[in-house]
Structure 1
Amino acid sequence: MLKPNNSWMWYYDQKVDALMLDLGDEMVFRVSIPTKHLIPCAFAKSVFTVDDATTYQTYLEGINQLDLSPPRKAELALTAVAASRFHKPMMPKSWFFESSNANCVPQTGDVVTLTTKDGKGNFLIIENSGCASLCMLASVEGLTLTTSKEMAFCELIKVMNDRMSEYEVYIEQPVVSFALVG
């Protein structure tokens, strides 16, 4: 797994029209957040701060229970850090999701489940602003919102908290055989 250090650097690459994170050793991470959703300071070179490293660790801990490969977890956590630092504010688009009676109060780094009429998706909470939260899709297979709209892995949406359910980890129980003696 990637370990943050003080040589990491955020910068905007105009050639590829994307926010990048230079990880050193000739490794560069391309952030999947569209340019139109970035705040102005995303276009200036800046260091990966101690706060960024702390936030990265918070997200990694939150997604630890997800069935994702280590590279996908790193991608999700780094994109989440970029979103928490550089994404423009959004209005909620809760109408895509069914209401929940779970009374979920998500915290930064939590994983929640949101349900549409066509399926379910797991989302990482980037920030909770009271009654709504900025969420990042943590399901690699994507999620259909409507017949004409689908979310992709690491895509962001703001949703009212009354639509969220806590993520439940399903652990497959091994089959145990007993021998009857006596």
Structure 2
Amino acid sequence: MLKPSDTWNWYYDNKAQSLMLDLGMDMVFRVNLPYKVLIDSAFDECKFSVDDASAYQMFVEHISYLPLSEPRKVELALNCVAAKRFHKPMLPKSWFFEPQGVGYSPEEGEIVSLKNDLGEGHFIIVENYECASMCMLVDMDSFALNPIKYMAFCEPIKVMHDRMAKMQVVNSAYYALVG
């Protein structure tokens, strides 16, 4: 697994129209966030901070059991860090999902289940707020929000907590709904 370094740098690449993370040794990671959702500081070059490294480690630990390849886990963890640090505040879009209960408050890094008429998807909590959380799709297959709108791997969305169900590890290759 890729280990964080104090030599990593965030920068915005105007040519690629994307936020990037320079990992050194001629390796660059392209963040999966469009221009329009980035806060102003995303356009200034800055170091991969201690907070970024701490968040990266936390996300890596929480996704270790997911049935993803190591490169996909790194991609997911780095996209989570970027969204946590550089994503503009967003309003919840809970109407895409069915209510699953009340009183549930997920923790950052936790994997949750969201359901609708078209299926069930698994999401990682990127940022937790009082009543809603920004989460990111962890499934490699796209998730249908409605018949014409789909989410892709690593795409973020903010959802009210009453739409979420807690996930628990069953074994090292799978995860299942509990509760």
Q: Same fold (TM over 0.5)?
A: yes
Q: TM-score, normalised by structure 1?
A: 0.92
SS of residue paired to 1:74:
helix
> For the residues of structure 2 that align with 1:171 and 1:138, how far apart are their CA atoms?
17
Match for residue 5 of structure 1?
5
Call closer, same or farther: CA 1:71–1:102 in 2, change over 3 Å: farther
Match for residue 99 of structure 1?
99
**8 A contact 2:135–2:159 mirrored in 1:** yes
The structural deviation recorded for 1:168 is 3.0
SS of residue paired to 1:130:
coil
Q: Where do 5+ consecutive residues of structure 2 fail to align?
A: 173-179
**8 A contact 1:102–1:165 mirrored in 2:** no
SS of residue paired to 1:5:
coil
Match for residue 150 of structure 1?
150
Summarize deviations over 1:74-124 as a string: whole Å, max 9, x none.
000000000000000000000000110264211111111111111111101
Of all paired residues, the percent bearing the same amino acid is 54
Q: Where do 5+ consecutive residues of structure 1 fail to align?
A: 173-182
Q: TM-score, normalised by structure 2?
A: 0.93
User: 1:32-71, aligned counterparts within 5 Å?
Assistant: 32-71=32-71
Larger Rg: 1
Structure with the bigger percentage of strand: 2
Letter in structure 2 aligned against 1:26: D
**Two-structure CA RMSD over aligned residues (Å):** 1.2
**8 A contact 1:102–1:166 mirrored in 2:** no
Match for residue 73 of structure 1?
73
Call closer, same or farther: CA 1:105–1:120 in 2, change over 3 Å: same
Match for residue 141 of structure 2?
141
